[in-house]
Amino acid sequence: MALAHLAGEGRGGPWWRAAKELGGAPALLAAGEERLRAAGLSERGARSLARFSDWRRIEAQRDRCRRLGISIFPISHPQYPRLLREIADPPLVLYARGDLSVCRATVVAVVGTRRPTRYGLRTASLLGRELSAAGVVVASGLARGIDAAVHHALVPGGRGVAVLAGGLDRVSPRSNRRLAARLLEGGALLSEHPPGTAPLPGRFPVRNRIITGLAAATVVVEAAERSGSLVSARHAVEQGREVLAVPGNIDSPASQGTNRLIRDGCAPMLEIADVLAACNIPACAQTAAPAAATTVHATGEAARVAAELDREGRSVDALIEATGISGGRMLELLTELEIGGVAERLPGGLFALKDGVRLG
């Protein structure tokens, strides 16, 4: 914990290599400045470590973790994730709630925009459902949008890992606290920060290297041209991991980043089998067929409106123009279709045919 405090977030690599050079963290802590510099630490780092004396602060952090039920795993701990230890800048300490041992299984990171389209949400849900059904542990960042969608879709008994940008007592956004609690039922919440650390904006891009570092492969679902998800893709490439991108409409801002990844040589994710193959998971482990669509029957004017709905969503004005039904009556019919489980309301005042529904 002292080494992690001194190294700072995202800069643990030289300290870990120095510890291995000198025979472990205790030897590193006992070494003098000259020996620390010879082991690869900067002059400033060697001086700070040789003069470190704030052990009360470290013990206070340990006590707080015990009170909050947070486990502490230094990088030398046998349960520290093997793949994460291999990256250039691993966190020197992982704080964990839940079961860190799930990271011994195959982990796939799924990342994407906080402002997904309907298509992006559907794809994230598909990934969460089918990867977890195949026994894959799904890692993400617990943000709104793609992150939350992929973890909400885990099958019963499916396992997920979320990596936070602040302390584990500062789940952000607050709206995902229930989801975080669900992940603890079979998975884990992780952070490189002690409890009490605020999830400041600058910590999110640095955190992303841990999400990809845990994983054999990273899937980018939707990403704008300048997106934190592209930072994750870059981390994964630098870590020597597989990266797949979900292709999208060429005129969709949410797919500009992913389409460019594919153009630049990233593998496209066209089906779940692509992800499983990237992780060397045999075909026999792939998921069961999705549940059959539910056939519903609408009659009269409701049937005319339902026939104009699609999966992406249409505006009320577009539906009025297509059917010739008046505005007031259209709203009544859309409400009727919502209650009947045929349609669902999307952001922006759009209406779409509900997933899993087929018109009879």
Tens-place pLDDT, residues 41-98: 777 777 777 676 676 887 888 899 999 999 999 888 899 999 999 998 899 899 999 9
pLDDT classification of 291: cutoffs 50, 70, 90: very low
Query: For residue 188, which of 91, 73, 86, 281 has the smallest C-alpha distance?
Result: 73
Q: Is the pLDDT of residue 346 over 60?
A: yes
- Statement: 294-359 belongs to CATH 1.10.10.10: yes
Q: Which fold has domain 100-285?
A: Rossmann fold (3.40.50)
User: In the structure, how many helices (H) and strands (E) does the chain have?
Assistant: 17, 14
Tell me the mean pLDDT in the region 316-338. 90
Location of each CATH 3.40.50.450 domain in the chain = 100-285
**pLDDT given at position 290:** 46
Return the SS3 of 219: strand
93 strand-pairing partners: 74
CA dist 222 and 228 (Å) reads 11
**pLDDT given at position 47:** 75
Q: Please answer whether residues 91 and 1 qualify as being in contact, where contact means their C-beta atoms are separated by less than 8 angstroms.
A: no
The tens digit of pLDDT for each residue in 86-136 reads: 998 899 899 999 999 999 999 999 999 999 998 999 899 999 999 999 999
Query: For residue 256, which of 267, 245, 242 has the smallest C-alpha distance?
Result: 245
Average pLDDT, the chain: 86
Q: Is the pLDDT of residue 253 over 60?
A: yes
**pLDDT given at position 3:** 58
The tens digit of pLDDT for each residue in 137-195 reads: 999 999 999 999 999 899 989 999 999 999 999 998 988 999 999 999 999 999 999 99
**pLDDT given at position 211:** 97
CA–centroid distance for 123 within its chain: 14
Return the SS3 of 94: strand
Tell me the mean pLDDT in the region 335-341. 80
Tell me the mean pLDDT in the region 269-274. 95
Location of each CATH 1.10.10.10 domain in the chain = 294-359
Query: For residue 219, which of 184, 261, 251, 172 has the smallest C-alpha distance?
Result: 261
